[in-house]
């Protein structure tokens, strides 16, 4: 027997643009990873497009004190260092995920959001929003 519960009050449904789906595949990001960042972002900034918000989370890489042999190194792939950014737009009924990308560096709070050039072109042309 399957029970389907109603979403909590105030919870918004998500709308994934085709562009965001393509970028998730390109950067190896899952929906659960994106939703986790949306729930608990490390930083939240104003997006480049009108009415959008960008959130990010740093991919922290932890090293253990133990020595790693060559065979163990193949078993445990490391996380890609850098940041994961998501741009979204809130509407009355749902939250529209516009784009997602990985930034290989570390940005300072308040700086311009590092958006790859192909995503910037799409945003400025108005195809996504």
- Asked if pLDDT for residue 21 goes beyond 90, the answer is yes
Query: Is 88 a member of any domain?
Result: yes
Distances (CA, A) of 120 to 10, 11, 31, 83, 128: 31, 29, 22, 17, 11
Query: Is 59 a member of any domain?
Result: yes
- Which string of DSSP letters, residue by residue, matches 31-78? HHHHHHHHHS-SEEEE-SSTT-EEEEEEE-----SS---HHHHHHSPP
Query: Is 53 a member of any domain?
Result: yes
Q: What angle do CA 32, 36, 40 make, to 5 degrees?
A: 175
Q: 89 — phi, psi (to 5°)?
A: -135, 130
Query: Is 45 a member of any domain?
Result: yes
Query: Is 101 a member of any domain?
Result: yes
- Asked if pLDDT for residue 106 goes beyond 70, the answer is yes
> How would you list the strands of the sheet with 13-16, edge to edge?
13-16, 94-103, 82-90, 53-59, 43-46
- Asked if pLDDT for residue 37 goes beyond 90, the answer is yes
For residue 4, what pLDDT is reported? Answer: 43
Range(s) of the domain holding residue 68: 13-125
Q: Which residue has the higher pLDDT, 116 or 101?
A: 101
Q: Which 8-state DSSP code applies to residue 118?
A: H
Predicted confidence (pLDDT) per residue in 55-68, tens digit? 999 986 655 545 65
Mean pLDDT value across the chain: 79
Query: Is 7 a member of any domain?
Result: no
Query: Is 117 a member of any domain?
Result: yes
Query: Is 25 a member of any domain?
Result: yes
What is the number of structural domains in the chain?
1
């Amino acid at each position: 027997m399957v029970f389907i519960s109603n979403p909590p009050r105030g919870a918004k449904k998500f709308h994934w643009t085709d562009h965001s789906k393509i970028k998730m595949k390109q950067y190896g990001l899952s929906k659960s990873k994106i939703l986790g960042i949306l729930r608990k972002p490390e930083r939240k900034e104003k997006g480049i497009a009108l009415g959008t918000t960008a959130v990010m989370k740093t991919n922290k890489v932890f090293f253990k004190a133990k020595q790693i042999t060559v065979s163990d190194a193949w078993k445990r792939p490391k996380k890609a260092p850098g940041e994961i950014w998501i741009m979204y737009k809130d509407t009355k009924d749902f939250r529209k995920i516009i784009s997602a990308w990985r930034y290989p560096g570390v940005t300072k709070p308040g700086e311009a959001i590092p958006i790859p050039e192909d995503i910037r072109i799409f945003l400025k042309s108005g195809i996504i929003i």
